[in-house]
Amino acid sequence: NEMGILGQVVRLYDNSAEVSLLEDRDFAVPVLVARNGLRAAVVGSGRNQLLQLRYLPVASDLEVGDILLTSGVDGVYPPGFAVAVITKIERNLDQNSSNVFCNPIAEINRHLQALALIYDPEIDAKPASAFNAPAQTGGRRQTRPKGQP
């Protein structure tokens, strides 16, 4: 929705689609921290549970309130879409790891319909000038204005 991503289309039907939600167990999205660019993965923990960032060292530069955005490295989501906000950080010094909990930014349980974006990283990564290039003629003769070679 306008707030952020809800999940990923996993199955298409004639007039609808099935979507895995961010909160679904073990559903993962590559993200980066908007404040500093730190890369991680947000993982679902089950319905109505907080999302998690896993396998991060204690020294990771994270703060409660940090916004997590799609990184785009998976080619599934365009970079820069809002995913979650960090709500709690538990640092385990003896294990050199952190348990990081997040709330999804999009209100997952409040929508009956959602907009699906079609994203192709190869097409979407081309510079704008590539779309403005003259069309190929396919061997057909082109006409030019009078006086031009």
E-assigned strand segments in 6-133: 7-12, 17-21, 28-33, 39-43, 51-56, 67-70, 82-92, 97-104
Mind giving me the DSSP string for 1-12?
Answer: --SS--EEEEEE
- What pLDDT shows up at residue 4? 82
Helix, strand and coil content of the chain, in percent to the nearest 5, comes to: 10, 35, 55
Q: Measured between alpha carbons, how far is 87 from 13 in angstroms, rounded to an integer?
A: 36
Give the 3-state secondary structure of residue 55: strand
Q: Measured between alpha carbons, how far is 96 from 122 in angstroms, rounded to an integer?
A: 38
Across the range 51-79, mean pLDDT stands at: 92
Q: Measured between alpha carbons, how far is 16 from 109 in angstroms, rounded to an integer?
A: 18
pLDDT over 80 (residue 68): yes
pTM score: 0.72
- What pLDDT shows up at residue 111? 58
- What pLDDT shows up at residue 77? 85
Of these ranges, 18-22, 40-44, 107-111, the one predicted with the greatest mean pLDDT is 40-44
pLDDT over 50 (residue 144): no
DSSP 115: P
Q: Between residues 55 and 105, which one has the greater pLDDT?
A: 105
CATH class of 7-125: mainly beta
Give the 3-state secondary structure of residue 32: strand
Q: What are the structural domain ranges in the chain? A: 7-125
- For 88-125, the pLDDT digits (tens) are 999 988 888 999 999 999 876 665 666 666 666 676 55
Q: Between residues 147 and 104, which one has the greater pLDDT?
A: 104
